Amino acid sequence: MLRTLHASRGITLVELMIGLAILALLLGLGLPSFNAFLANSKVRNAAEGLQAGLALARSEAMRRNQNVEFVLTNETVDLGTVSTLAPSASGIHWVVRVLDPATANYDLVDSRSGYEGSGQADGGIGIQVAASDATITFRGLGGTQGLAATATYDFSNPSAGACHTTATPGPIRCLRVQVSVAGLIRMCDPSVDPATNPGDTRLC
């Protein structure tokens, strides 16, 4: 019995164009969500970086049993400027430093550029921080010195959109890092409503 051989048939131009159109539609629908995800990731990276710097300053103060400063600044941090840099409540960089009593100058423990992990070039518009205190001094027992109330560091990404709030939902989950008078450091979400989420661990 003879078998009938059928030639294999490829896709037509029309089928290819339909497939490309569907792919473009799916990409168009998913792109805004992906952009918002990236923007929120940059906010979180910046907040986590500052939180790590605060934790380092506190642990270093306890290890040395002496005062250690955490400072926000807009100046470039290096060994030559660590003693003279100007604190700034909107500073994008942070530095951890210790005063040397013998020289009356500061020794650099660590520093970080806020542009790292934020996806912005030096001088560009991107992640912004608004701090209640540009300088936090941790004591040897882990508490703070001279802090009258909880210090706050609010992070936003205005170039990507407005912060999400219960009143005006926006695309960006802005975050806050808090430092209590006792030296406890935590990150929270100001948009979480205590009335509807009383037990949420993200509450500020």
User: Phi first, then psi: what are they for 135, rounded to 5°?
Assistant: -130, 130
Distant-in-sequence, close-in-space partners of 177: CB < 8 Å, separation ≥ 6 = 47, 50, 51, 54, 152, 153, 155, 185, 186, 187, 188
pLDDT at 9: 64
Rounded CA-CA distance 37/161 in Å is: 12
Residue pair 69/135 in contact by the 8 Å Cβ criterion: yes
Q: For each of the chain's 204 residues, which pLDDT tens digit applies? A: 555 555 556 678 777 788 777 776 766 665 567 788 888 989 999 999 999 999 999 999 999 999 999 999 998 888 788 999 999 999 989 999 999 988 889 999 999 886 565 544 444 457 899 999 999 999 999 999 999 999 999 999 988 889 988 778 888 999 999 999 999 999 999 998 888 888 888 898
With tokens 């040897």, the residue in question is: 140
pTM of the model: 0.79
Residue pair 160/172 in contact by the 8 Å Cβ criterion: yes
Write down all domains in the chain, each with its CATH number in brackets.
13-188 (3.55.40.10)
DSSP string over 79-145: TTTTTTPPB-TT-SEEEEEEEETTTTEEEEEEEE-TTTTTT--TT-S--EEEES-SEEEE-TTS-EE
What's the gap between Cα 122 and its chain centre? 16
Rounded CA-CA distance 177/186 in Å is: 6
